[in-house]
Amino acid sequence: MDSAPLVPVLGSMAAIQQALAEETERLVALRFSSDPAAVDCVFMDEILARSAARVRRFAVVYGVDLRQVPQAARRFGVEAWRPLSLQFYYRKRLIKVDCGTGDTARLTRPVPSVQQLVDLFEVVYRQALRGKGLAMAPFRL
């Protein structure tokens, strides 16, 4: 028996596109994974779920299971073999994040703490409001 997901899951490309299109004032964070039971993905989902109340005024988080929506990997440029990829969107536009990993289009490692994730959401949101397409993370992964 599967347990309930920690973050709301979008189960189709239409649902993903709708979430991006309808959210015009808040950041949309999409956590992609082809194995939501992977250790890194479960850890990240726990951090995302624990952060949700603190960022709900300016961000919303969704999970995307690439086994259910395989075309999302190509559409959003994520590698299906990674345990997780986290991307940020504001008004349907990708906001890149520099965490010192060399890949600014997505985070592929879990953020270690709730506070660090909240700080990251705040920085990304502020940069998005300014029309910037790249945010410098307040930490290195």
Would residue 2 count as lying in a domain?
no
Would residue 132 count as lying in a domain?
yes
Q: What is the pTM of this model?
A: 0.94
Closest CA to 35 of 71, 67, 5: 67
Q: What distance in Å separates the CA atoms of residue 3 and residue 40, rounded to the nearest whole number?
A: 17
Q: How many domains does the chain have?
A: 1
Would residue 141 count as lying in a domain?
no
Q: What is the mean pLDDT of residues 78-107?
A: 95
Would residue 120 count as lying in a domain?
yes
CATH of the domain at 82: 3.40.30.10
Percent of the chain with pLDDT over 90: 94
Spatial neighbors of 16 by CB under 8 A, at least 6 apart, are: 10, 30, 62, 64, 69, 72
Would residue 6 count as lying in a domain?
no
DSSP assignments along 10-72, one per residue: --SHHHHHHHHHH-SSSEEEEEEES-TTSHHHHHHHHHHHHHHHHHTTTEEEEEEETTT-THH
Domain, as residue range, for 66: 13-136
Which amino acid is residue 84, in one-letter code?
Answer: L
Would residue 5 count as lying in a domain?
no
- In this predicted model, what pLDDT tens digit does every residue of 4-21 receive, in sequence order? 678 999 999 999 999 999
Would residue 108 count as lying in a domain?
yes
